[in-house]
Amino acid sequence: MSAGIPAYDKNNIFARILRGEIPCKKVYEDEHALAFYDINPQAKIHVLVIPKGAYVSMADFAAKAGDQEIAGFVRAVGKTAEKLGVVESGYRLLANHGPNSHQEVPHLHVHIFGGQKLGRMIAVERQA
Ligand code: 5GP
């Protein structure tokens, strides 16, 4: 385990999707990544792109993945956006890491939001 990064849980829901144990509505797949529709969409288009390797978050991926995996994953995000037809209209990428971000699934995923006007940036919780 690296500092601040929990150990990878191989039974997290996205690991199970990668193993084919749970179905998903696939958008794009190659040797490095899988992209599929989010089960609880927060925008007209809401797709998740995940690397095929076992990484908890972007911090874990940046620290441990090989250059080819990183390049392949970034390209897969770009190809998924192309397949979704949102390049011209625009889209937003989001990747949560850790408790402050409310990351739910401990396997790196990049959200792609699009298909509508998305408003400005993020909603921040009020501090007590
Ligand atoms: P996070 O909060 O970790 O950044 O986002 C996790 C996302 O995964 C959420 O948007 C949630 O709706 C989505 N999700 C959780 N379980 C499943 C599932 O079984 N299938 C799909 N397609 N999406 C899921």
pLDDT in tens, 39-69: 999 999 999 999 999 999 999 999 999 999 9
Is 106:12 a contact under the CB 8 Å cutoff?
yes
User: What pLDDT is recorded for position 29?
Assistant: 98
User: What pLDDT is recorded for position 22?
Assistant: 97
Q: Mind telling me the catalytic residues?
A: 109
- Residue 102 Ramachandran class (φ > 0 left, ψ -120 to 50 alpha, else beta): left
User: What pLDDT is recorded for position 36?
Assistant: 99
Mutate to test the pocket of ligand 1, among 16, 25, 48, 103 (most ligand atoms within 8 A of CB): 48
User: pLDDT higher for 122 or 43?
Assistant: 43
User: What pLDDT is recorded for position 51?
Assistant: 98
Residues with Cβ within 8 Å of 27's Cβ and at least 6 positions away in sequence, in order, are 35, 36, 37, 47, 80, 83, 84
% residues pLDDT > 90 (the chain): 89
Is the CB–ligand 1 distance for residue 13 below 6 Å? yes
